[in-house]
Amino acid sequence: MTLLSRRITWIEKYRPRRLSDVVNQEEAKRALLDWINSWEKGKPSKKAVMLVGPPGTGKTTLAYALANEKGYEVLELNASDIRTGDRIRQVIGGSMKMGSLFGFRGRIILFDEVDGLNVREDRGGLAAIVELIRESTWPIIMTANNPWDPKFRELRDEAAVIQLKPLGEDDILTILRRICNSEDIKCEEDALKLIAVASGGDVRAAINDLQAAAEGKKVLTRDDVTVTERAHQFDMFKVLDRVFHARRFDEARSVTFLPSFDWESYYPWALDNIPSVYAKSMDAISSALDNLSLSDVVKGRIARTQEWELMPYMLELMTAGVALVHNKPPLARFVRLAFPERIRLMAKTKEIRQLRDTLINRLRIELHASSSEVTLYYVPLLRLMASSDAFKKKLLERLMRVMGYSLESVEKALGIGVSTGGEGGGAERESTKRTRR
């Protein structure tokens, strides 16, 4: 390891340079690409996007990867450091009207941590950002951990909100292994798992812990790792246990303030466990499922209308609405919770869905079409062509060259030549459903 490499934090050294290097944020990547492509065609539905997610999920990284891949210069402003309206206009205002330097294709304006603004104390800061978005001739990306406060409503209205999901332990392990290989460090799997678990879904924390434990070593063992689990991180078992045992509104609602809380994952967990936890009271089951259903209705409304100020109501219905129900039966200190069957089935078809998503993304680029068009029209057409002896061989060989996949992988991506036991079709329907949303 050179002296220069030691001066560089691994966070920066191994920051993904292309969107394909960003782990397991496929929906966010597709939405971001669709948005920047609409800018390049001169028809953006929104001049700005807001990347939203817990700390360490890759919001800023995603912005820089997009800029690097598309050949844009990034002009970054951390909204929590430069707060007043006058200062924001001074730093950013002129640059929005100037061309890009050094041969870049264009410029992306990045407002990092916009939810760090205090509307009362930071004089005119929020209004200045809204004004600059409306006037800008360059695309604008904002990042935020929790922008659901009503005070950010005007800012959300100006942007397309793209949600990043918390990364799982397997995703973080993939990143840690990649770094160890690049640094030529032999790492025990138990050591990496300890770091991944302790990170609680925060990639930055995991990489920093890895560098602290492994830098300068050729071998990393479990004994070398001295990290402590971050107290604010809860897995879904702990989240549900706290909700079911909650006796007050604020106690149940408090889980939504955890950085690791993933409301999309929470829904199937609650849906599968309510009947068993409240088995002694049909009234409690009925009330809890009614409120959970209402939260899903609100979620659908948010997706259709982008009225993100409704988010608090959705979260209250799915937490306090599940916990504070009529005729709630007494619960044991430890309730038995089950892993959701839907997620279990999705895990079984994960490889096929990943291959299919890669195929869709590649076809989207080659055909200059949207992901929705590729999923609804082109993939079924390719599957039909592959069922014909006249086209099958040439089609599969072409897809193997384009994707760099084996014949078996291409067949899995198309859903042919392999038995999916009915699950592949379900995965395809789920992929189509996600694309339509």
Is 404 assigned a ligand-binding role in the annotation?
Answer: no
Is 54 assigned a ligand-binding role in the annotation?
Answer: yes
Is 57 assigned a ligand-binding role in the annotation?
Answer: yes
Q: Lowest-pLDDT range, 131-135, 198-202, 347-351, 409-413?
A: 347-351
Is 55 assigned a ligand-binding role in the annotation?
Answer: yes
**203 close to 218: Cβ distance less than 8 angstroms:** no
Burial of 42 (0-12, 13-18, 19+ CB in 10 A): exposed
pLDDT tens-digit map of 143-159: 988 777 677 888 888 99
Strand partners, 429: none
Burial of 82 (0-12, 13-18, 19+ CB in 10 A): middle
Q: Please work out, in degrees rounded to the nearest 5, the angle formed at the alpha carbon of residue 104 by the alpha carbons of 103 and 109.
A: 145
In this structure, which amino acid lies at residue 257? F
What is the widest separation between alpha-carbon atoms in the chain?
70
Question: Which residues, 6+ apart, have CB-to-CB distance to 108 below 8 Å?
Answer: 63, 66, 67, 72, 73, 74, 75, 138, 139, 140, 141
Q: 378: which 2 tokens?
A: 């082109």
Please give the model's pTM, rounded to 2 decimal places: 0.56
Is 422 assigned a ligand-binding role in the annotation?
Answer: no
Q: Which domains does the chain have, with CATH numbers?
A: 25-163 (3.40.50.300), 169-224 (1.10.8.60), 236-340 (1.20.272), 349-436 (no CATH)
Confidence of residue 235 (pLDDT cuts 50, 70, 90): low
Is 56 assigned a ligand-binding role in the annotation?
Answer: yes
pLDDT tens-digit map of 243-301: 999 988 888 988 887 766 778 888 888 999 999 999 999 999 999 999 999 999 998 89
**383 close to 326: Cβ distance less than 8 angstroms:** no
Confidence of residue 432 (pLDDT cuts 50, 70, 90): very low
Comparing 243 with 373, the larger pLDDT belongs to: 243
Q: Lowest-pLDDT range, 6-10, 51-55, 391-395, 417-421?
A: 417-421
Q: What are phi and psi of 108, to 5 degrees?
A: -110, 130
